Amino acid sequence: MKKIVLIFCSFFLITLSYAQVADKKEYLATFVAELYKQWPNNKTQNLVFHGHSVPTGYYTAAIGVRTFDSYPFYTLKSLKDKYNFAVLNCIITSKGGENAKNGALRFESD
């Protein structure tokens, strides 16, 4: 019984060390601070979206690819509406028709 408890406690402690919730005050704080800066003190911030057909903008074959209706560009628009002096790039590395597992393999080989 002691071995089972010890194993459980060890597993629990290891799990806790990996499963941490980000502190809302500190998570991305340096990124957000840059969004408030104005020229000439600001610098370009890159938003990079990895994925497959959804961030690419694929809907259905009948509609086609709607890049500006994809969530990366909605995210960019929302940030620009809030931080109008920020210099932001929206970079999409996704490939339509690819799934997440294949995308991960592509990044491992590139």
Average pLDDT over residues 84-88: 93
Confidence of residue 78 (pLDDT cuts 50, 70, 90): very high
State the Cα–Cα distance between residues 49 and 66, nearest whole angstrom.
Answer: 16
> Could you tell me the pTM of the whole model?
0.66
**Is residue 67 pLDDT above 70, yes or no?**
yes
pLDDT of residue 9: 44
Which residues 6+ apart lie within 8 Å of 3 measured at CB?
Answer: none
| Token digits of residue 40 | 């000439």
Residue 27 has phi, psi (to 5 degrees) of -65, 120
